[in-house]
């Protein structure tokens, strides 16, 4: 089984910051907006190097989304930065009308997504944002898995014309994808080859899926791990190809099972080649305060939960 | 440059367009549209520096944003009569497969529309974003926007109004259609907004009153004053005092025609009060 090495824990939000720094050098039309969370979003470097292209909008997210939509008129490529909760639910109608329906080239970059924001608790831990964003016609939805991939995605979306939701997180997590990777929007990444079960994971759960695959391997179960960094448009072909072989699937995401990656995968399977599926996701609940590790354990979002779900789905084949 | 009579004739024709558009589909918003006819004609025919090519790249010309998108009939009529799309297309207003949606949108590719609007309170932010891009592009042209007075009840406006002054966005002229009416009644009854002039000034804006917003000469004069106040470090607000339903006696001074179309008989009376000038579509 192919294995991956953690080159050292790093936060995905720093990958975003590093990507934005690169874009500052290479893309003169890239502008950045932030709603009073520059440090949290790691936008300090872009701000310091390009003060004329950086816009501090204050604690006013609705205005930020509208400003970004307007800035595209005349050719700018705006990147907005705030927490995932305030990037989506708080400003849904602004995104819907001024960005998505108006087809504006805005990149909505959202940190602190999911439970792993930790101690701040449920007011800040959004578990509904993938659903909210994927429902919007024309919106591309990306949830990256580590530092390197977040940096690559940040750079890649600048060259894609159209609205994008880029979701990443707060904690330091394993950094294992290639530093020089080519990020292809909408293209699944097969991480391991397997024949018994397909594990389709996104975001922080991708590393957990790899850990789970190791454990399963020791138990004689061959798992094929697929990293879905782009939830919309979804790489239907890659999913169908893998499930045609394994005949069952586990989806894993730091998100509500309603409206998330799992439901998108279920749609692809049920309309093409139905197969048993288990969902590793939160079960229609809000989060709570705690350390990221304990929260992921309590809400069943770690390697152990993926192993259990895999064993369960195997029995349903 | 057009002479005043030409502008007045166009305004009358625009009123006819508005009335005929909403009557045909028995829906739409004639009240606010009629009240803003002079403003739109003045803006597109005299005030804005626009490219003749009707390109939509937003570069090298003044831009206009309509925030209160429900007054689309006046917007569509003036855009069509300014050459953005064929006047005959006004026939398709609110019909299926039309580019003239109930509320304006870029989605159908209608020239002249730069952002969707209709869900209220978003246009200030978008217009300010476009103004910031103009500055980054070192483009000296101005941004114009129009907002309903009732629309200012949406909180996002005040985020944007605060932002504009705090960031010295002085290449924008935002006009408030100050007709004192909204769907449910007079704004003072629905949600009193106090002294708007003082509010804008307290938020750091320069405010220009146009007391006769349905007198085209006064609109031209007032907008020229507003233009002279740009580039001085402060955003500029125009309080355009208008009469909802202006030009049709039974529609004036009431919220009743905010979102209601005239029936056949009412249309006939209304059109008689606004005789054909440039030719109906």
pLDDT tens readout for residues B139-194: 999 999 999 999 999 999 999 999 999 999 999 999 999 999 999 999 999 999 99
**Cα separation, B169 vs B164, whole angstroms:** 5
Share of chain B above pLDDT 70, in %: 100
Token pair recorded at residue A160 = 């894609």
A75, B156: Cβ pair inside 8 Å? no
Region of residue A308 (left: phi > 0; alpha: psi -120 to 50; beta: else): alpha
Kindly state whether residues A16 and A102 are assigned to the same domain: yes
Is B207 inside any structural domain?
A: yes
Are A81 and A71 in contact by the 8 Å Cβ rule? The answer is no
Neighbours of A285 (CB within 10 A): 11
Q: Which ipTM did the prediction report?
A: 0.96
CATH for A40? 3.40.50.970
**Which DSSP symbol is given to B251?**
G
Kindly state whether residues A149 and A215 are assigned to the same domain: no
Last residue of a domain, one of A124, A139, A173: A173
Among the listed residues A22, A28, A52, A61, the single catalytic one is A61
By Cβ distance, the residue of B106, B136, B162 closest to A102 is B106
Number of domains in chain B: 1
Neighbours of A108 (CB within 10 A): 29
Each residue's pLDDT tens digit, B117-144: 999 999 999 999 999 999 999 999 999 9
Which residues touch A242 (CB under 8 Å, ≥6 apart)? A190, A198, A200, A224, A226, A249
Kindly state whether residues A86 and A115 are assigned to the same domain: yes
Residues of B in contact with A71 (CB under 8 A): 129-130, 132-133
Last residue of a domain, one of A122, A140, A173: A173
**Residue that is written with structure tokens 């749609």 in the block:** A267
Kindly state whether residues A259 and A294 are assigned to the same domain: yes
The answer to whether A253 is a known catalytic residue is: no
Residue A258, domain extent? 189-315
Q: How confident is the model at residue B2 (pLDDT cuts 50, 70, 90)?
A: confident
Residue numbers of A between 9 and 48 with CB closer than 8 Å to B: 31
Specify the pLDDT at position B1. Answer: 58
Give chain B's mean pLDDT.
Answer: 97
Quote the radius of gyration of chain A (alpha carbons, Å). 19
Kindly state whether residues A212 and A282 are assigned to the same domain: yes
């Amino acid at each position: 089984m192919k294995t991956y090495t953690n080159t050292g824990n790093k936060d995905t939000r720093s990958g975003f910051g590093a990507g934005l720094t690169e874009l500052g050098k290479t893309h003169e039309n890239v502008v950045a907006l932030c709603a009073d969370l520059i440090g949290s979003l790691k936008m300090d470097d872009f701000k310091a190097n390009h003060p004329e292209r950086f816009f501090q909008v204050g604690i006013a997210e609705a205005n930020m989304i509208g400003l970004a939509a307007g800035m595209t008129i005349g050719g700018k490529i705006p990147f907005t930065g705030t927490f995932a909760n305030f990037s989506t639910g708080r400003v849904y109608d602004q995104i819907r009308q001024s960005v998505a329906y108006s087809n504006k080239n805005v990149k909505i970059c959202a940190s602190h997504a999911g439970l792993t924001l930790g101690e701040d608790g449920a007011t800040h831990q959004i578990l509904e944002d993938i659903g909210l964003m994927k429902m919007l016609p024309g919106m591309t939805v990306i949830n990256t898995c580590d530092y390197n991939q977040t940096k690559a995605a940040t750079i890649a979306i600048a060259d894609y014309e159209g609205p994008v939701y880029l979701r990443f997180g707060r904690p330091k997590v394993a950094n294992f994808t290639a530093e020089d990777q080519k990020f292809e929007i909408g293209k699944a990444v097969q991480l391991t080859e397997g024949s018994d079960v397909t594990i389709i994971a996104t975001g922080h759960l991708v590393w957990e899926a790899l850990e789970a695959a190791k454990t399963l391997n020791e138990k004689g179960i061959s798992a094929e791990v697929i990293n879905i960094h782009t939830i919309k448009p979804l790489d239907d072909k890659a999913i169908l190809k893998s499930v045609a072989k394994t005949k069952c699937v586990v989806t894993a995401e730091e998100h509500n099972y309603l409206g998330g990656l799992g439901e998108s995968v279920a749609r692809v399977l049920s309309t093409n080649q139905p197969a048993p599926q288990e969902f590793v996701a939160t079960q229609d609940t809000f989060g709570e305060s705690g350390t990221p590790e304990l929260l992921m354990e309590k809400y069943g979002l770690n390697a152990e939960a993926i192993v259990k779900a895999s064993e369960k789905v195997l029995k349903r084949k | 440059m057009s002479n005043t009579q030409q502008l007045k004739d166009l305004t009358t024709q625009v009123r006819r367009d508005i009335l005929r558009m909403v009557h045909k589909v028995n829906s739409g918003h004639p009240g606010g549209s009629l009240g803003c006819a002079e403003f739109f004609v003045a803006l597109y025919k005299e005030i804005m520096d626009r490219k003749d090519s009707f390109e939509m790249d937003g570069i090298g010309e003044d831009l206009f944003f309509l925030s209160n998108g429900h007054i689309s009939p006046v917007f569509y009529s003036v855009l069509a009569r300014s050459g953005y799309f064929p006047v005959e297309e006004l026939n398709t207003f609110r019909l299926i497969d039309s580019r003239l949606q109930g509320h304006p949108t870029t989605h159908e590719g209608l020239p002249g529309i730069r952002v969707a609007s209709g869900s209220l309170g978003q246009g200030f932010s978008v217009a300010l974003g476009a103004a910031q891009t103009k500055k980054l592009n070192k483009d000296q042209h101005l941004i114009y926007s129009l907002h309903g007075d009732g629309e200012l009840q949406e909180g996002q406006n005040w985020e944007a109004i605060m932002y504009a002054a705090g960031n010295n966005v002085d290449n924008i002229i935002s006009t408030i259609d100050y007709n004192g009416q909204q769907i449910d009644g007079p704004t003072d009854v629905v949600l009193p907004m106090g002294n708007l002039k003082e509010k804008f000034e307290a938020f750091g804006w320069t405010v220009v009153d146009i007391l006769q917003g349905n007198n085209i000469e006064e609109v031209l004069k007032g907008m020229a004053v507003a233009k002279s106040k740009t580039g001085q470090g402060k955003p500029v607000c125009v309080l355009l005092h208008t009469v909802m339903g202006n030009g049709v006696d039974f529609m004036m001074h009431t919220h009743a025609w905010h979102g209601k179309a005239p029936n056949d008989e009412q249309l006939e009376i209304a059109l008689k009060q606004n005789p054909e000038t440039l030719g109906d579509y």
